[in-house]
């Protein structure tokens, strides 16, 4: 469904520290970096149109960051735990510690705010 998600941040260095940390524990690679841009995931190409990536650009701090929310898939619950730990250590703030949620019986997730206030989540849908 998605090709990419693009956000702006006022402090690209702080964003890079935060997203490097959480993406590493989720097994997501950095696909590029410039002074005003970083990208994670898999950039789409003609031979690989189903790939998805996150694009982070330097720009004005979003005024409505609190309304933004995106979720990353985790293969295991331990990745959700590591996502939260890495995000906190890299300058993120707690917005919901790892644990089961009531969305369905196996919805295990953690929520963070990145240094700009954007809400990010990692979820594992497996029972264990």
Phi, psi (rounded to 5 degrees) for 124: -120, 125
What average pLDDT does the segment 35-46 reach? 88
Q: For position 78, which CATH number holds?
A: 3.10.180.10
Helix (H) or strand (E) holding 2, with range, is none
Query: For the chain, how far is it from start to end, CA to CA, in angstroms?
Result: 27
Q: Is the pLDDT assigned to residue 60 strictly greater than 80?
A: no
Which residues make beta-bridge pairs with 43? Answer: none
Q: Where are the alpha helices (DSSP H) in the chain?
A: 12-26, 77-89
Q: What are the distances in angstroms from CA 104 to CA 95, 101, 107? A: 19, 7, 5
Of 3 and 67, the one with more pLDDT: 3
Domain count within the chain: 1
- Domain span at residue 117 reads 4-124
This prediction has a pTM of 0.86
């Amino acid at each position: 469904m998605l090709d990419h998600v693009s956000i702006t941040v006022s402090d690209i260095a702080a964003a890079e520290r935060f997203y490097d940390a959480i993406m590493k524990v989720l097994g997501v690679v950095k696909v590029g970096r410039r002074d005003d841009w970083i990208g994670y995931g898999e950039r789409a190409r003609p031979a690989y149109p189903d790939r998805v990536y996150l694009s982070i650009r330097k720009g004005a701090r979003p005024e409505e960051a609190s309304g933004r929310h995106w979720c990353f898939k985790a293969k295991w619950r331990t990745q959700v735990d590591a996502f939260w730990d890495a995000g906190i250590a890299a300058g993120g703030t707690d917005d919901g510690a790892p644990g089961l949620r009531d969305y369905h019986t196996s919805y295990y997730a953690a929520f963070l705010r990145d240094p700009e206030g954007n809400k990010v989540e990692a979820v594992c849908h497996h029972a264990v």
